[in-house]
Amino acid sequence: MMYLKLLDNAKKKKIVEMLEKEYGIKKLPYLLVESGSGKYWIYSGALSKEEIKKIGDEIIIETIGTKLCTIDKDDIRLSFDALNIPEIKRQITKGVYEMPEEKIKEWLKGENIETEINADEEYLIIKNQDDFLGAAKNRKTFLHNYIP
């Protein structure tokens, strides 16, 4: 009945390797859960894997925890919620684009930002000063915004 898939250590390791390559994230001290369509969640609550499985046998569980990322083919995009979790935020050292101050309002309105990007990364973390403001798809001539 459960729609969630609790990831084993091998699959979690593969995702952590992707996160390290793209963003510098080396550790995820959480239970990792897949909810289908390449969407992954992190959970650090009081329930064990076994308890979650038991509940999932009785009722439909669609999500649990905080959305971590979406994986499409070999590309991984961090979610807005995960970017500012302290354990994750302090590890992000790669794939960061410092948004110019004059573009912040446009970005926060959900608009794409026209700019020349020389980065090779498929997705970039948008930063302004000490704040992460979301992730963008790098289209080389503009940043595709995922803020609704």
User: 27-46 pLDDT, tens per residue?
Assistant: 999 999 998 789 999 999 99
Q: What is the per-residue pLDDT for 138? A: 94
Pair (99, 88) in one structural domain: no
Pair (53, 26) in one structural domain: yes
Q: What is the per-residue pLDDT for 46? A: 92
Q: How many domains does the chain have?
A: 2
Q: How far apart are CA 131 and CA 127, in angstroms?
A: 6
Note whether 81 and 67 are within 8 A (CB): yes
Answer whether residue 132 shows pLDDT above 80: yes
Pair (59, 83) in one structural domain: yes
CA 113 to chain centre: 20
Pair (72, 114) in one structural domain: no
Pair (81, 131) in one structural domain: no
Q: What is the per-residue pLDDT for 2? A: 55
Pair (14, 79) in one structural domain: yes
Q: What is the per-residue pLDDT for 55? A: 83
Domain that holds residue 111: 95-148
Note whether 15 and 7 are within 8 A (CB): yes
Note whether 110 and 52 are within 8 A (CB): no
Pair (13, 73) in one structural domain: yes
Pairing type for strands 31-34 and 131-138 reads: unpaired
Predicted structure pTM score: 0.89
Sequence-distant (6+) residues with CB within 8 A of 100 are: none
From the number of C-beta atoms within 10 Å of its C-beta (0-12, 13-18, 19+), residue 109 rates as exposed
Pair (64, 104) in one structural domain: no
Q: What is the per-residue pLDDT for 147? A: 86
Pair (146, 75) in one structural domain: no
Pair (118, 88) in one structural domain: no
Pair (74, 103) in one structural domain: no
